[in-house]
Structure 1
Amino acid sequence: MNASFEALARPEIRSLTPYASARALADSAGILLNANENPFPSPGDPGLGLNRYPDPQPTALLDRLADLYRVARERLLVTRGSDEGIDLLVRTFCAPGEAVLTVPPCFGMYALSARVQGARVIEAPLVEHADRFEAPDDLVERARDCKLAFLCSPNNPTGNVLTEATVREVGRALDGRGLVVVDEAYVEFQHGDSFTTLLDELPNLVVLRTLSKAHALAGCRLGTVIADPAVIGLLKRIIAPYPLPTPTVEAALAALTPEALATQARRIAEIDQQKQRLVEALRSLDSIRAMWPGEANFVLVRVADAARLIDDAAAAGIRLRNQSAQPGLDHCVRITVGAPDENRALIAFLETWTP
């Protein structure tokens, strides 16, 4: 194992003997009497063999994800959504009192996972501009003493994208001291490459990907940690024995065939077209005081009274997300791009809504 990553991990993790499940010790061939499973299928089983435990890290799924993300299979760990990947990273590398960087406003699970672990949260707030948010000038300085630096690109809920220069600077500042973690949950919607292209250049870079958003599998809860194999090995020491349910794996495999990926690409293009129409409509409304389109499948807007907009929209059968509790986002609302009829209903509602 890479000694530098071993040294970064918590002492308890370094000395831990991982639990070895029955499937980790032996495959599912032959007569299976090693896992205390029920030999008879459940009446509720649709033919997936759910009476048997699944492969902890399914080879066929890893192969398809490696092709999709253009990385070596040894760099991958599949998890129960990106939330589990975030939690594993914090539990592996952060002892109580050590620091984790977040760049708010951003996805709340970074700070929550850190605080549950007893880690300190250091914030480097984004800088607001009229049409975009940007990383602060002191981002690298604030990250310097952190074990983990969580960066989200495209960011949720502002939609801004980080530059390669920014990620390089943070990664180099933490070289030998910590990891820079880029959450790319929305990367398929942006106009640019994934930061996985920097993995060879920055050994301490970790990239999080998910099938929830662009691949429309939010209900399956399947995420991927992409990192140096030594980091993956450390995370495997504490991951649950069977993180992925069999139906999740089957749905993911079906979503990653060439035909399914072609359909997905067409739908992403359709979402992009719908977003442009939504943005144009929002720009014409007096009730929208500011808007940040960003590069994801949502738009962030500011109105005079966010709580009232949320309530009035709900009364009309439309659910929006109030972001006012986030730092710097007073009276801001996040609007997900929906299907054409859903977007038309939203626009019709907003055209008559007054704060």
Structure 2
Amino acid sequence: MNVLDLARPEIRAMQAYSSARMEAGGGEIWLNANESPWAPSGDGGTGCNRYPEPQPPELVEALAAMYGVQREQVLVTRGSDEAIDLLVRAFCRAGEDAILIQPPTFGMYAIYAQIQNAAVIEVPLAHDFSVDVDTLLAALTPAVKLTFVCTPNNPSGQRVPRASIERLAQSLQGRSVLVVDEAYVEFDDQVSVVDLIDRHDNLAVLRTLSKAWALAGARVGCVLANAAVTGLLRRIIAPYPLPRPCVAAALAVLSAEGQAATRAHLETIRTQRTRMQQALRAVPGVRQVLPSWTNFLAVRFDNAGAVYQRLLAAGIVVRDTRRYPNLGDALRITMGTPAENDKVLAVLRNATTNAQGLAEGST
């Protein structure tokens, strides 16, 4: 069975929009796209009066080289969010098909399914946030066209073993597309599963430059998948998804100099993660610091709500994860600079000291 047999037949049959930039050949004077012939004020030579390339060749080449795939296996998107949206729209018929997720996990999988009027089947992660492959496969129905796995997981920080991914890809062959979200994989020492794409045409891997590569504001990500899948998604992606300044920013961080800076930052984050794990465990009121292979820590507190407000009063914003399953007592704390992390610890320790002082003064 071809992976495209899982896709919506009307998407497989549709004729993709042919943009003016796609049809343009060589030439010195471009009068085919109804663009302004003048650059805007303050353009600085970026050429923003012209539409960008639909899939900028230099960026596609750089991402393909970095991830170890063929150019045809890369579709550049506006962050991972657009990639998720495209996959849901391409494979899920409204009111008929479904996706499968394992909460607690990234909320946008369910949101995009709901927008498409696709059902959302939930198979909660185990108490230790591990993926039970047998339970997941038992929940699969013929309606499930996409199975999402986030590794390392957001918001728990837990990883999914490579062997589990391989087993899922094999077991879901001809039944569902396995979408592996690797938004945080750079913070892990576990190798990406992108090399499995050539063995499993039903495997799609999501990558982003928003986290480790410090481009959250530029919105650059990609889908890495079988060329048939990326080709299908090209039919429904916006004609010009990536603004020129965002492409330039991405190429800068992917340069040799940019990659060296990123590696240094990643080492700092890993060091800070270990330091904060140890320090937080010693703070009174902390029940547990969950294992993490990301740039954040999920921390259980005796009173997570009070801790959240205490940090907020000090100007520190963390993520309140109490609405997520199995995280009703937890906050998610992103690793900042060493100085920012020091302030988090100082606020938590001072609050504990003050509380103890008040308690002693009342006796």
TM-score, L = length of structure 2: 0.94
Match of 1:138 in 2: 135
Q: Name which of structure 1's ranges 226-235 and 138-147 shifts more when overlaid on structure 2.
A: 138-147
Over residues 42-67 of structure 1, what are the superposed CA-to-partner deviations in whole Å (9 max), with x where a residue is unaligned? Answer: 01312201000000001000110011
Q: Quick one: which of 349, 352, 358 aligns to 1:351?
A: 349
> CA shift at 1:8, angstroms?
1.4
> CA shift at 1:159, angstroms?
0.9
Over residues 93-136 of structure 1, what are the superposed CA-to-partner deviations in whole Å (9 max), with x where a residue is unaligned? Answer: 0012312011110000001111111111111111123xxx2112
Match of 2:104 in 1: 105
Segments of 5+ residues of structure 1 without an aligned counterpart are none
Call closer, same or farther: CA 1:27–1:306 in 2, change over 3 Å.
farther
State the identity as a percent: 48
Letter in 2 for 1:353: A
* 1:226 matched to 2:224: yes
Call closer, same or farther: CA 1:287–1:51 in 2, change over 3 Å.
same
> Matched residues in 2 for 1:123 and 1:339: separation?
36
CA RMSD of aligned residues (A): 1.4
Superposition map of 1:1-355 within 5 A: 4-27=2-25, 29-96=27-94, 97-129=96-128, 133-136=129-132, 137-143=134-140, 145=142, 146-354=144-352
> Matched residues in 1 for 2:46 and 2:257: separation?
22
Q: Name which of structure 1's ranges 197-206 and 64-73 shifts more when overlaid on structure 2.
A: 197-206
> Matched residues in 2 for 1:276 and 1:24: separation?
48
> Matched residues in 2 for 1:287 and 1:85: separation?
40
Over residues 278-306 of structure 1, what are the superposed CA-to-partner deviations in whole Å (9 max), with x where a residue is unaligned? Answer: 11100101211111131000000111222
> Matched residues in 1 for 2:192 and 2:44: separation?
37
Contact persistence 1:144–1:173 (CA under 8 A): no
TM-score, L = length of structure 1: 0.96
> CA shift at 1:174, angstroms?
1.8
Match of 2:361 in 1: none
Match of 2:360 in 1: none
Contact persistence 2:106–2:155 (CA under 8 A): yes
> Matched residues in 2 for 1:19 and 1:71: separation?
26
> Matched residues in 2 for 1:28 and 1:178: separation?
42
Call closer, same or farther: CA 1:27–1:308 in 2, change over 3 Å.
farther
Over residues 318-345 of structure 1, what are the superposed CA-to-partner deviations in whole Å (9 max), with x where a residue is unaligned? Answer: 0010001111211210000000100000
Which has the larger Rg?
2
Contact persistence 2:283–2:349 (CA under 8 A): yes
Q: Name which of structure 1's ranges 222-231 and 117-126 shifts more when overlaid on structure 2.
A: 117-126
> Matched residues in 1 for 2:285 and 2:304: separation?
11
> Matched residues in 2 for 1:10 and 1:285: separation?
52
> Matched residues in 1 for 2:27 and 2:138: separation?
53
Over residues 21-50 of structure 1, what are the superposed CA-to-partner deviations in whole Å (9 max), with x where a residue is unaligned? Answer: 101111474210000000011013122010
Contact persistence 2:285–2:303 (CA under 8 A): no
